[in-house]
Amino acid sequence: MFDWLQHFSDWLIYSVFEIGAQTHLGVALNFFVYDTIKILILLFVIVFLMGIVNTYFPIERLKEYLNKNKLYGLEYFFSSIFGAITPFCSCSSVPLFIGFVQGGIPLGVTFSFLITSPLVNEVAVAMFLGMFGIKATLIYAVSGILLGTLGGWILGKFNLEPLLSDWVKKILESKMQQAEYEEKKLTFYERLPEITQGAWDIVKGVLLYVIIGIAIGAAMHGYVPENFFNKYLGSGEWWTVPLAVIIAVPMYANAAGIVPVIQVFVAKGVPLGTAIAFMMATVGLSIPEATLLKKVMSLKLIAIFFGVVTIAIIISGFLFNSIL
């Protein structure tokens, strides 16, 4: 699919700039040009497609669906899927959380949404697709959704409502009136310019991270010797998974910046499962998210939430490594 782009990069670097295909610099530059363009195309296409999906499934409708249908335990799964298809913005997570709980959706089901939403987001999926191919992307997305389902279900088993902030509890008790809301329904064609604009905005927003991430990746690709990481952490020592996850949790790396670097780690010998677990912990949990959630949850609840998700990611890491 991207053969033409490889030809273009070869031509640009080896023929136009006349940098040899045998030199480190040539390989690194070729990698950089090819990956940057490929990722930007994928990113735009996926964000655009997600924009279309979202016109048909606005979050309010998803909430109503979860609220009105008896799903016999499948509500965790659906909530997690909804989390995956809803565009993620960390600044929306608190309003979403309150909106869900206030709408009568159980806390555990809400957590399913909250876990998957940052974990499986359009930027992460596009980056994964570009750097690791379709198989790894499917594994990432499916396991992210399952992780959200299970995580929410486990959290739902605890009695966590008393651990919400006082003002959130008050909102829940008061069951306040739905504010008046008037928005005329726009047709698909009327929304198309806006979806396109939105996709451009996201691509522009992550452009810098993509370039920096790929530049670091390209540099490492050309200069780090093969199997370099094998010597230190690639040989599948059991503790490398928990270590990678625990390092990644507080990190707040943009998915766009981190994936190209992870790709090099994998190319140089780190097991794919460890890399996926690292990626999940980086985008799924972060200090800024915890700070935002502090407004609606007690520290204890945040700690339980992060703890359950961290353990789930570590277990998935082991699973990936034993299967892949």
Partner 1 sequence: MSKVIKILGTGCPKCQSMTGVVSEVVSENNIEATIEKVEDIMEIMKYNVMTTPALVIDDVITIKGRVPSKDEVLNLLN
Beta carbon of residue 239, minimum distance to partner 1 (angstroms, whole number): 38
Per rule CB under 8 A, is residue 98 in the interface with partner 1? yes
Span near partner 1 by CB under 8 A; candidates 1-9, 116-124, 180-188, 259-267: 180-188
What is the CB neighbour count within 10 angstroms for residue 188? 10
Min dist CB 33 to partner 1, Å, is: 28
Reduce the DSSP state of residue 17 to 3 states and report it: coil
For residue 78, give the nearest of 100, 99, 94 by alpha carbon. 100
Q: Which amino acid is at 91?
A: C
Compute the least distance from the CB of residue 247 to partner 1, in Å: 27
Query: Does 269 participate in binding partner 1 (rule CB under 8 A)?
Result: no
Distance CA 140, CA 131 (A): 13
DSSP state of 57: S
Give me the least distance between CB of 272 and partner 1, in Å please.
33
Contact flags string 159-178 toward partner 1, x per CB under 8 A: --------x---x----x-x
CA distance 282 to 263: 14
Stretch that binds partner 1, among 70-78, 132-140, 190-198, 233-241 (CB under 8 A): 190-198
Contact characters 191-210, partner 1, x per CB under 8 A: --xx--xx--x---x-----
The least CB distance from residue 224 to partner 1, in Å, is: 35
CB of 165 to partner 1, least distance (A): 10
* Residue that is written with structure tokens 């008393």 in the block: 162
Nearer to partner 1 among residue 27 and residue 59 (C-beta): 59
Supply φ then ψ for residue 29, to 5 degrees. -65, -40
3-state SS class at 105: coil
User: Nearest distance from residue 5's CB to partner 1, in Å?
Assistant: 30
The torsion angles phi and psi of 226, rounded to 5 degrees, stand at -55, 145
Q: Which is nearer to partner 1, 18 or 182 (CB)?
A: 182
Nearer to partner 1, 3 or 166 (CB): 166
Q: CA 87, CA 147: separation in Å to the nearest integer?
A: 18
CB 313 within 8 A of CB 280: yes
Size of the site for partner 1 (CB under 8 A): 33
Residue (50 or 244) nearer to partner 1, CB:
50
Q: Which one of the spans 95-103, 130-138, 282-290, 308-316 is the region binding partner 1 (CB under 8 A)?
A: 95-103
Q: Cβ distance 80 to 113 under 8 Å?
A: yes
Q: Which H or E run includes 268? A: none
* CA dist., res. 315 & res. 79, Å (int): 22
Q: Would you give the binding string for partner 1 spanning residues 102-131, x where CB under 8 A is met?
A: x-----------------------------
Identity of the residue numbered 227 = N
Asked if 233 and 264 count as a contact pair (C-beta separation under 8 A), the reply is: no
Per DSSP, 297 falls in state B
Binding site for partner 1 (CB under 8 A): 58-60, 63, 89-92, 94-96, 98-100, 102, 167, 171, 176, 178-183, 193-194, 197-198, 201, 205, 292, 295-296
